[in-house]
Amino acid sequence: MRMRKKRHGEERLARCAEFLLTDPAALFGDPASPFYGREGEIHLEIGCGKGAFAVESAARHPERRYLAVEKVENVMINALERAEAARESCVGNLRFLIAHAEDLENWLPPRSVSAIYLNFSDPWPKKGHVRRRLTAPERVEQYKRLLAPGGRIIQKTDNDELFAFSLGTLEEAGFETEFVTSDLHASSRAEENVMTEYERAFSEQGKQINCLICRLPD
């Protein structure tokens, strides 16, 4: 069923226009241009949802530039409004793009991204839908082209099947596994972890969170 458009959606987008990339071609020509010329690594979140992870990450790490991608405009409105509410801490180093994952190479130049976050992506559990997973082999090859040497993919998920699948496809593609856990919140990376909306809800339900970090060799 198609999601109903939010009331006053266009007006709400306009109020947050500074955070939204409407000319992504400029990003391809000069990745620094939408960030007021600010330098620093580009970190890409694919499927940013309502923006909690992107906004907090940008506030914690002003030395980085964050690009958060979401394909659903209605959901993106929430993310943009969250960023606008916290604008003093993230306006210089956070931008959002309404786009599909398969189109990212149209907007980002090769080897321009230092980290890709895949937070609680749709697991597409049906056998006929495996190719739609964000860690399907075709998508992983795309990430390899976007990542700079030494770049990382960081995935968090509550879905064990997707987690095992992702470990397999990333290793087969030549990524080196740097960190893997089935209980992120009890791991050595718990303190630096930035939670998403889904993650907070799952944690309150007592669910354990899987996390992996894979590195593209230099």
Tens digits of residue pLDDT in 167-214: 999 999 999 999 999 999 999 999 999 999 999 999 899 999 999 999
pLDDT at res. 95: 96
pLDDT at res. 1: 38
| Spatial distance between the Cα atoms of 55 and 90, rounded to a whole number of angstroms | 7
Q: Look over the chain and give the mean of its residue pLDDT values, rounded to a whole number.
A: 93
Q: Which residues are catalytic?
A: 122
Domain boundaries, the chain: 8-109, 117-218
Q: Which two tokens stand for residue 141?
A: 């090859």
Q: 216 exposed, middle or buried (CB, 10 Å; 0-12, 13-18, 19+)?
A: buried
CATH class of 117-218: alpha beta
The yes/no answer on whether domain 8-109 falls in CATH 3.40.50.150 is: yes
What Å distances lie between residue 116 and 19, 37, 139, CA to CA?
A: 19, 21, 12
Whether 8-109 and 117-218 share one fold: the answer is yes
Quote the Cα angle for 218-106-197, to 5°.
80
| Spatial distance between the Cα atoms of 195 and 178, rounded to a whole number of angstroms | 20
Q: What is the pLDDT along the chain (218 residues), one digit of tens a residue?
A: 344 566 667 888 888 889 999 888 888 888 888 898 888 999 999 999 999 999 999 999 999 999 999 999 899 999 999 999 999 999 999 999 999 999 999 999 999 999 999 999 999 999 899 999 999 999 999 999 999 999 999 999 999 999 999 999 999 999 999 999 999 999 999 999 999 999 999 989 999 999 999 999 98
* Separate counts of helices (H) and strands (E) for the chain: 8, 7
Contacts of 52 (CB under 8 A, 6+ apart): 82, 195, 196, 197, 200
* Contact by Cβ (8 Å): 209, 62: no
Q: 87 exposed, middle or buried (CB, 10 Å; 0-12, 13-18, 19+)?
A: middle
CB neighbours of residue 53 within 10 Å: 26
* Contact by Cβ (8 Å): 50, 6: no
Q: Which two tokens stand for residue 21?
A: 């990339």
pLDDT at res. 218: 85
Structure pTM?
0.94
pLDDT at res. 2: 45
